[in-house]
Structures are given as C-alpha cells and as structure tokens.
Amino acid sequence: MQFRKCVGPLMLMGLVAACGSRADSGGFHPSGQAGAGGSAAASADASGASDASGRQTPGPGAPAPRTPQSALAGYRTYQLAYERAYKNNDPSVLNAVAVDPMLAKVTRDINDVRSQGFSWHFHNVLSPKVQGASPDGSSVVILDCVLTLRSYKFDATTGKRLGLWRGGSVQYQAIMRYSDDTWKISEATEGGKC
C-alpha cells in the first residue's frame, strides 16, 4: 500500500519536469536539441536522419552508406519489393533493388506466373545477419532464415483464391552488391530448413 502512495506523486513530478519551460517550434528533435525555427527540421530532411542507434541514415535521393548495416536495410527493401512484385505480377518494382543475375531470374519467374494466369500473395518473416563483406566493402553476404507464414495462389483475372501453401522456413544466403549508390541483391541461394 505504501508503494502505491509513492508512485502517484513520483509520476506527477516526472510529467511536470518533462513539460519544461523552453520555447520550441514544436518540431520533432530526436537528438534532443531544439532548433531555431524550422531550420533544424529542414537541415535534417536534407542531410538524412539518425536511426535508433544514432547512426546517420541518408535522406531521400542520398547515396546509401557502404556499410553492412546499410546492406541489411537494402536486403529488407528487396524482400518487400519481391513480395509486391509477385502479388501484382509486376517485376519492374525490382529494378531499384536487384541486379542480374538475380533480377533476370526473378523477372522470368514472375512473367511465367503471369502467363499462367495467377499470382502469389505471401509474407516472409526475416531474421537476416551479415555473414561477411568484401575487403573493399562493395559486396556483403547475408544469411537469413526466411519464414513464409502462408502463400496463397490467386486467379489473376477473377481474384479467386485457388490454393494455399502452408509455408515454412528455409535457409537463405544473399549477396548484396553496392551499385548506383545503393545496395542491390545480385545472387541468392536457398538451403535446407532452419
């Protein structure tokens, strides 16, 4: 009972202290520094933002850093585009995230699926880790255990569901290459269950 009596005033003091008396423009400042007017927000948009670990991430149109962490982000972006490409039977969304031979391989498969008159809808759960990188930083090898929750086959014309694959997990190794100031997947191999 004594604990409850103490918690209320402590929470109230914390809330009051958090309000502060500093005049601010109302912008979001993850670094904890309030900017003068809107200049801080404008400069953050132009130069990028900080991620949860405090590392600088590029803004829109800025080159991706040549780091393994940035390659992991590129891999995740590829996987989202891969799902969207199969769902819409449109391999063109992969041009920004993949290069040959991987781009050609997946494009052929999506075109084959489209010619058969169906599409695949699925979602993969990822847990990628960096296995290694080339000495010059232009290539990064990523290992993943890709878990497909379920995969549904739909008729591309009617939208009717035609089938279901229950999913499962598979070992996946991807090679990410730094190309055109961004990370793109170039090769991938699947292994056994994980």
pTM of model > 0.75: no
The H helix count followed by the E strand count for the chain is 4, 8
The β-bridge partners of 152 are 121, 164
Helix 102-115 crosses helix 68-88 at what angle (to 10 degrees)?
A: 20
Query: What ranges do the domains of the chain cover?
Result: 68-193
The β-bridge partners of 140 are 133, 176
pLDDT digits (tens, 9 = 90+) for 157-189: 999 999 998 889 999 999 999 988 999 999 999
68-193 in CATH: which number?
3.10.450.240
pLDDT digits (tens, 9 = 90+) for 68-116: 999 999 999 999 999 999 999 999 999 999 999 999 999 999 999 999 9
